């Protein structure tokens, strides 16, 4: 079982909200991790969006709009990237990442389609 699992795709309408999940493998407690989020558009390198561990330990990247935010769902053992007021420019691949067992581990990525 992968350390981080992301749904491979998600579709949402312009103006709506999208909740991208990053589920940690059973036995790895989401509460103890900072979860980092990256956005990648076709033909470009990834870009840092934000990290979230708790409301007192979070950071938004420079220029990242406030309609993107991080949170956690402890009951699902998952990190969440919430994008509200979806715009066409949000269409991209999104990756989560954590530091686990002395290595940076990426989720498989979610392709977000805005249609």
Partner 1 sequence: QVQLVQSGAEVKKPGASVKVSCKASGYTFTTFDIHWVRQATGQGLEWMGWMNANNGDTGYAQKFQGRVSMTRSTYISTAYMELSSLRSEDTAVYYCVRVVRETGWFDPWGRGTLVTVSS
Residues that bind partner 1 (CB under 8 A): 34, 36, 38, 40, 45-48, 51, 59, 61, 95, 97-99, 102-109
- For partner 1, which is the closer residue by CB, 21 or 40? 40
Please give the full DSSP string across 17-78, using - where no structure is assigned: -EEEEEEEPTTS-GGG--EEEEEE-TTS--EEEEEEEETTEEEEPTT--TTEEEEEEGGGTE
Minimum distance, C-beta of residue 102 to partner 1, in the bound complex (Å)? 7
Minimum distance, C-beta of residue 76 to partner 1, in the bound complex (Å)? 21
């Amino acid at each position: 079982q992968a350390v981080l699992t992301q749904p491979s795709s998600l579709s949402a309408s312009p103006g709506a909200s999208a909740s991208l999940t990053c589920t940690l493998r059973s036995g790895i407690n989401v509460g103890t991790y900072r979860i980092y989020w990256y956005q990648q558009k076709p033909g470009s390198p990834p870009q840092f969006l934000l990290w979230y561990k708790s409301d007192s330990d979070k950071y938004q990247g420079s220029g990242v709009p406030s309609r993107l935010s991080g949170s956690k769902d402890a009951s699902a053992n998952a990190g969440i990237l919430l994008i509200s007021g979806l715009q066409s420019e949000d269409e991209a691949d999104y990756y989560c990442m954590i530091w686990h067992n002395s290595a940076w581990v990426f989720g498989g990525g979610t392709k977000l389609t805005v249609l």
